[in-house]
Amino acid sequence: MMDVRAPVEFIKGAFPNSQNIPLLDDLQRQMIGTQYKEQGQDQAIKLGNELATPLIREQRLAAWKAFTETHPDGVLYCFRGGLRSKVTQQWLKESGINYPFIEGGYKAMRTFLLEQLKVSLNTMPLVLVSGRTASGKTHFLHKLSHYIDLEGRANHRGSSFGAMITPQPSQIDFENSISIDLLKQRHTHKQAVFMEDEGRLIGQLALPHEMLKAMGEQYPLVVLQTPMEERVVIAVQDYITDLYPHYQSTHGEQAHEIFSEKILFNLSRIQKRLGGELHKTLHGQLSEALSALAHGDEEGFAQPIGTLLEKYYDPMYDYQLSKRQGRVLMQAPKEELLEWAKNYQPKKDQ
């Protein structure tokens, strides 16, 4: 989809696979908006025509043509399917290209997705995959064909140390992606759809209220049981081995310093809950491990990560699970749970 809204609008929220090729830049949009409020629509249109110099028109058309050639079956949209869509379509038509726009624009699609999100949450047989931190829940989900990857959509691994090197999407983009994923699963699979059991926030992004409420009160869950030794290996792999090379490719010689600061800063964020002595011990152990990482040695992370799992994450998880034992369908190690999930058929009233 070709989004012809201004960049400032696109950043706040768009749709998966859409590309922003605006009719108006941010300044032009602001100028025309002010003119509309002060002088009315006719004067705003007049200003828009004045701003559309031959050079600007040529630049816009070149970008739009390139998009239509690459995506001949695509569509364009603005905020409400109004003037910007019609002007874009008209300019393209005058260049010999017929390209449809979405009636109602972004606003109509956003409203549709919010409505469908509620429908999906209330009608689909959703099952939560629970388990202690670093049990491998995301890896487990990816072995299924019928799942929703909330952390993938949030671009965050979910814990205090889960931030990725690339930024998270906007809240609106996150919600739109979830709704679209649920829609696809709703029309593709008749069996249960699995998704990871999450708290209110994944990084800086909040789960939709209806989803969080259903997770806490309604959906059944399964518990992935993973031994501590394996969980430590998974955590080191996810948070160190897989992540550090991205810092190296992005930050070059400064990668180690930036990565180390990030790890220790994340530890400081939970200092109050850890307590002074435990925080001090973990800070020292992680500092030593990070120093060794500069020489390619990751072994030092096992001890502090194991302590974090045992002393910090596990007690919190065990308390939360104790309040929902009545909804647990199955508790098992990975292979056994995977076989069960592939064959599970929900009850009709679920």
44 token code pair: 């705003």
Active site residue 326: no
Half-sphere exposure of 261 (CA within 13 A, CB side): 6
Beta bridge partners of 193: 126
- Exposure string of 154-185, with b = 16+ CB inside 10 Å and e = fewer, is bbbbbbbbbbebeebbeebbbbbbbbbbbbeb
Give Cα separations from 279 to 161, 240, 305 (angstroms).
15, 19, 12
* Candidate list 78, 148, 163, 223, residue with the active-site label: 78
The string of DSSP letters for 60-82 reads HHHHHHHHHHH-TT--EE-SSSS
Residues with Cβ within 8 Å of residue 67, at least 6 apart in sequence: 2, 19, 21, 74
Q: Compute CA 17 distance to the chain's CA centroid, rounded to the nearest angstrom.
A: 14
Q: What is the CA radius of gyration of the chain?
A: 25
What are the catalytic residues? 78
